[in-house]
Amino acid sequence: MGKKRMSGTERRDFIIGLLKKTKQPITGQELANQTNVSRQVIVTDVALLKTSNEPIIATNQGYLYLQQQSPNHLHRRIIICNHTPDQTKMELDMIVDCGVTVLDVIVEHSIYGELTGSLMINSRADVNQFVTALSNYEATLLSVLTNGIHLHTLEADSMEKIDAACKALAEAGILYTERNK
């Protein structure tokens, strides 16, 4: 006999509990398997949880619950980059090699305004998974909408690591500066 189906409330409580316990993304399919429902039911559950102000984000690796960090623990900086799609892997590798997490990518669209995509990339394995997913899904980078110009929110446990990532990007000609115009 199959697993007993959870009610919607039980399932959403289970999802929140599971996401809070891990720092690793959990795919919708994994959640569906654990709760004996379809992936689409999980997508709906997550949407409902988001409308209840649960800080869940969807990344290309799965769902994450944004844990509250003490403000002094991690440092953040938003940077502007400009490069071709072929340089994406190099850009991300340079950042994570400095011990920095790429939280997102942001572009300003002429019709929709600011568009943000959650990335949560903090290792070369994450970079490889992202680049592979782009290829497998034949997806287009958000930066294509803005001729390569985009922003990233970077996070690290020290500003020195973020400075090192910015220096590497500047040396590669990827960090956007006034002279790139």
| Mean pLDDT rounded to a whole number for the chain | 89
For residue 123, pLDDT over 80 is answered with yes
Which pLDDT score, from 0 to 100, does residue 181 have? 38
What is the location of CATH 1.10.10.10 in the chain? 8-65
Helix and strand numbers, DSSP H then E, in the chain: 6, 6
- For residue 71, the model assigns a pLDDT of 53
Is 90 exceeded by the pLDDT of residue 18? Answer: yes
Q: The domain 75-180: what is its CATH number?
A: 3.30.1340.20
**Residue 30, burial from CB neighbour count under 10 angstroms (0-12, 13-18, 19+):** middle
- Structure confidence by residue, pLDDT tens digits, 157-174: 999 999 999 999 999 999
Question: Which residues fall in the annotated binding site for Ni(2+)?
Answer: 83, 91, 150, 152
For residues 64 and 56, is the Cβ–Cβ distance under 8 A? yes
Q: pLDDT confidence of 109, banded at 50, 70, 90?
A: confident
What residues are designated binding site?
Answer: 83, 91, 150, 152
Is the per-residue pLDDT at 10 higher than 50? yes
In a 3-state reduction of DSSP, which class is residue 155? Answer: strand
Q: Model-level pTM? A: 0.76
Report the pLDDT averaged over residues 75-89.
Answer: 95
Q: What is the DSSP string of 29-84?
A: HHHHHHHTS-HHHHHHHHHHHHHTT--EEEETTEEEE-----TTT-EEEEEEEE--
What is the fold, at CATH topology level, of the domain defined by 8-65? Arc Repressor Mutant, subunit A (1.10.10)
